[in-house]
């Protein structure tokens, strides 16, 4: 037996031993043991195409393994895990059977695989098991880690290696390969008797699975056209022909034929013409030739430097054909400016995995924040037993974690995604003794990572650049003043509002002295470049404050400053760091919109990373570019100390953004347990920027088609400050009687949005890929300088595509 808690008891009848005993549909349940060695069965076609059907590690995963799943010292249960034949998902056993979708997890949703005792759970509860048998599967989003113990070290290694190979192959897949893999996995599920033949009933089931309610007469007509053997079954080439017709993209064919002419192939010069019309004015003939050699599938066409329709589709579905500028996915901004010149990805109550009232605290929350590119994390430090400070949300039922464990997590994970500096924002509620312990842990665990003195002796107060601070950790905390109390104790003011109160008025001198707090010299010494200071006024003082002074403001106080002193606040933020955090009244750890704070140049706009929603979508979109390193250079107007910019008075419109929403492809099914539940999608486009630019417009909805809905609708926006604007593409399932359901979204800065015909690759609520789900749009961005005939020539209006029955499956009605 694997688990100690199972050694002395017998299995209960209700605990299923194999997936066949669980009510799962074909394709979700694992194959009978008699089939396990049969690599020729249709379900393994996907793994064959991935080149992994003969891999020993993958074959072992297909057979399945019994792991001990660990949650606590007493909850350690044996569970069966088995890779599905699609190579995309893993089936797992539950004690109480649930809906089929609750018995799988997807490989593409895995964030990391850790070996040994490399998670909080295994460090605390897995000590009885040798590290070589232990592994942790960490997921993207809010899903909890999966801590497992294998029967042997070799079996653990098989899963570590196998999952690594599957993830690497998925990452290397083109969008076209992902689509092919996706459709064939559904084809296998729809083949109810697994005979590699598809009846019309099975075809109809397939269509419902992929989110399409096609007219029966039209579907049967398409079925009969492909049934060349006339036996009411599709098999082999007939199935491939049906899928080819189903996946046909008439709108792409029309664009291709517009540039290719009668010969139905694109020469390099014709492709260059298309690229120039796309707004890629730096494109050259050599670049067009390189695209042909990269994306063309036909070797003969490639040799003659020609691109076929398939190659054209491969290009448009690739990262180079996406809406996000590929050059901006790397670090491309100047990283040698002072820290105050950057937006910095920041987390509030980082230790929480749920609400701030009774949710659990975990070091894993820090690991996840770092994995999302977060560069400023919060530590709420309180007195703990045994002289060890703890972190939790004070005066609540949230659980507690050791300060030293969090610092260890910082050391191990802070720089796995980004090399640029991390700021530890300390909210200190400890006495002098445990403050000294905090300083000792910071020194001992972080070592040379920790910034303990200024880097520039000539300008010790000036903020260094992210480039100069690569791999370093900064402490944001309270600094000792020059004064001492009557009894000799060193005093320091509490930081602005201490994140639990919402002060609206300046405290008098007597009240300030009452709230004065003792600060340990050891901890004070570590606040080198981020000295927590109360923001008393925005009026220029006789002696200018040092750039190293950092203010923390509640969202309410920040909004008041924006409203009453917009330009002065912008000027302040051009030289000093400002941190903004959510109101304490947000008991469920809800977020506020960060855009309003960015408009005024606030750098450290702290959000609850554990709470998904449009606010976190905006945060992810803001930090999507510049290599997702967590630092974004602010626009010039937010960096100049003498700027006249006021986000409340931005001036007249300077840019027109026009987006034609054409089609969507392979939208996810929202209710996988109900075959007849098919989405009625609509697209909403949102602009988030200065108040005068904020807008949202939407298309009509399309009835019963999440597979290939078509709109052809144009939405236009006028923008005053385009360099601050974020564009959010949202797909929803229309509902006439209740709020629409979220389907997917993608958010990015307008400055990183490419023009022309582009695909938008959609993401889930928690930021995971929904591949192969995409939107297909045409984008035109015109500045005031290019409006008129010159602007029109740079950004031509696309011909509206009307679609039709000749182009593929019958388009459903739209409203």
Query: Strand 473-478 to strand 530-532: parallel, antiparallel, or no bridges (unpaired)?
Result: parallel
- What is the token pair recorded at 55? 């891999």
Spatial contact of 369 and 377, defined as CB atoms under 8 Å apart: yes
List the catalytic residues: 348, 393
Residue 565 three-state SS: coil
Residue 111 three-state SS: strand
Complete DSSP assignment for 519-546: --HHHHTT-SSEEE-----SSPPSSPPP
Strand partners for 549: 531
Spatial contact of 83 and 161, defined as CB atoms under 8 Å apart: no
For residue 780, the number of C-alpha atoms closer than 13 Å in the C-beta half-sphere is 19
Closest CA to 253 of 266, 235, 239: 266
**To 10 degrees, the CA torsion angle through 699, 704, 710, 716?**
10
Residue 762 three-state SS: strand
Place of tokens 């509490």: 494
- Cα 35 from Cα 354, distance rounded (Å): 43
- What is the token pair recorded at 61? 């995963």
Find how far residue 213's CA is from the centre of its chain. 31
Number of helices (H), then strands (E), in the chain: 23, 33
Please name the helix (run of DSSP H) or strand (run of DSSP E) that holds residue 312, with its range, or none: helix 309-317
Find how far residue 385's CA is from the centre of its chain. 38
For residue 189, the number of C-alpha atoms closer than 13 Å in the C-beta half-sphere is 23
Closest CA to 439 of 420, 452, 449, 448: 452
Backbone φ and ψ of 755, nearest 5°: -90, 170
Q: How far apart are the first and last CA of the chain?
A: 60
- Cα 555 from Cα 593, distance rounded (Å): 9
Spatial contact of 495 and 527, defined as CB atoms under 8 Å apart: no
Complete DSSP assignment for 424-480: EEEEE---HHHHHHHHHHIIIIIGGGB--S-S-SSSTTS---TTTTTT-EEEEEE--
Spatial contact of 250 and 801, defined as CB atoms under 8 Å apart: yes
Spatial contact of 103 and 24, defined as CB atoms under 8 Å apart: yes
- Cα 87 from Cα 360, distance rounded (Å): 34
């Amino acid at each position: 037996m694997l688990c100690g808690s199972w050694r002395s008891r017998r299995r209960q009848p209700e605990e299923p031993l194999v997936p066949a005993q669980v009510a799962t549909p074909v394709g979700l349940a694992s194959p009978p043991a008699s089939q396990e060695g049969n690599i020729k069965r249709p379900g393994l076609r996907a793994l064959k195409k991935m080149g992994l059907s003969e891999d020993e590690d993958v074959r072992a995963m297909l057979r399945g393994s019994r792991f001990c799943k660990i949650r606590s010292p007493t909850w350690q249960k044996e569970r069966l895990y088995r890779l599905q034949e699609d190579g995309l998902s893993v089936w797992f056993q539950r004690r109480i059977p649930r809906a089929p979708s609750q018995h799988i997890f997807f490989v593409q949703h895995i964030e990391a695989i850790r070996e040994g005792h490399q998670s909080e759970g295994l460090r605390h509860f897995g000590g009885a098991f040798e590290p070589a048998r232990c592994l942790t599967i960490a997921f993207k989003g809010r899903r909890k880690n999966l801590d497992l113990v294998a029967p042997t070290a070799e079996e653990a290694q098989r899963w570590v290696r196998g999952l690594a190979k599957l993830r690497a192959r998925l990452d290397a897949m083109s969008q076209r390969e992902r689509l092919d893999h996706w459709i064939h996995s559904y084809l296998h599920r729809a083949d109810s008797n697994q005979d590699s033949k598809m009846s019309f009933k099975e075809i109809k089931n397939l269509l419902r699975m992929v989110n399409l309610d096609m007219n029966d007469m039209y579907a049967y007509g398409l079925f009969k056209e492909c049934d060349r053997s006339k036996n009411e079954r599709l098999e082999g080439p007939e199935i491939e022909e049906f899928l080819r017709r189903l996946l046909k993209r008439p709108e792409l064919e029309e664009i291709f034929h517009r540039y290719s002419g009668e010969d139905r192939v694109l020469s390099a010069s014709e492709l260059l013409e298309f690229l120039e019309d796309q707004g890629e004015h730096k494109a050259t003939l050599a670049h067009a030739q390189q695209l042909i050699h990269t994306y063309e599938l036909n070797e003969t066409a490639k040799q003659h430097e020609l691109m076929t329709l398939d190659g054209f589709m491969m290009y448009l579905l690739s990262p180079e054909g996406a809406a996000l500028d590929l050059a901006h996915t790397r670090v491309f901004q100047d990283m040698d400016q002072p820290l105050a010149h950057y937006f910095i990805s920041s987390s509030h109550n980082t230790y929480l995995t749920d609400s701030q009232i009774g949710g659990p605290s975990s070091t894993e929350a820090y690991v996840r924040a770092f994995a999302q590119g977060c560069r400023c994390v919060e530590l709420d430090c309180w007195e703990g037993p045994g002289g060890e400070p703890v972190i939790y949300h004070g005066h609540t039922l949230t659980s507690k974690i050791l300060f030293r464990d969090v610092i260890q997590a910082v050391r191990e994970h802070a720089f796995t995604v980004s090399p640029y500096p991390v700021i530890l924002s300390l909210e200190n509620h400890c006495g002098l003794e445990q403050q000294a312990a905090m300083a000792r842990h910071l020194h001992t665990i972080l070592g040379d990572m920790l910034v303990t003195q200024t880097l520039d002796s000539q300008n010790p107060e000036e903020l260094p650049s992210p480039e100069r601070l690569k791999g370093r950790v900064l402490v944001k905390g309270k600094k000792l003043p020059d004064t001492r109390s009557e009894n000799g104790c060193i005093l320091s003011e509490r930081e602005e509002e201490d994140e639990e109160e919402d002060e609206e008025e300046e405290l008098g001198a007597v009240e300030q002295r009452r709230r004065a707090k003792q600060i340990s010299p050891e901890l004070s010494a570590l606040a080198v470049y981020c000295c927590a200071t109360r923001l008393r006024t925005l009026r220029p003082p006789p002696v200018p404050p040092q750039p190293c002074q950092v203010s923390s403001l509640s969202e309410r106080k920040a909004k008041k400053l924006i409203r009453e002193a917009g330009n002065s606040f912008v000027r302040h933020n051009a030289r000093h760091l400002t941190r903004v955090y959510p109101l304490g009244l947000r008991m469920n750890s809800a977020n506020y919109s960060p855009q309003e704070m960015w408009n005024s140049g606030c750098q450290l706009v702290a959000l609850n990373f554990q709470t998904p929603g449009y606010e976190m979508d905006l945060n992810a979109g803001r930090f999507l570019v510049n290599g997702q390193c967590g630092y974004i250079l602010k626009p010039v107007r937010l960096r100049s100390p003498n700027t006249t910019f006021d986000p409340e008075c931005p001036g007249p419109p300077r840019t027109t953004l026009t987006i034609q929403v054409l089609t969507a492809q392979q939208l996810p099914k929202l209710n996988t347990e109900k075959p007849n539940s098919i989405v009625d999608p609509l697209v909403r486009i949102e602009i988030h920027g200065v108040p005068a630019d904020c807008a949202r417009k939407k298309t009509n909805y399309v009835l019963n088609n999440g597979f290939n809905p078509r709109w052809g609708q144009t939405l236009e926006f006028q923008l005053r400050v385009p360099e601050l604007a974020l564009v959010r593409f949202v797909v929803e399932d229309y509902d006439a009687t209740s709020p629409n359901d979220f389907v997917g979204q993608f958010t990015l800065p307008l400055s990183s949005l490419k023009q022309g015909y582009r695909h938008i690759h959609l993401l889930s609520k928690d930021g995971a890929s929904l591949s192969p789900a995409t939107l297909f749009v045409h984008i035109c961005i015109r500045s005031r300088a290019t409006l008129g005939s010159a602007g029109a020539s740079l950004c031509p209006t696309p011909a509206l595509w009307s679609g039709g029955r000749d182009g593929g499956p019958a388009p459903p009605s739209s409203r």
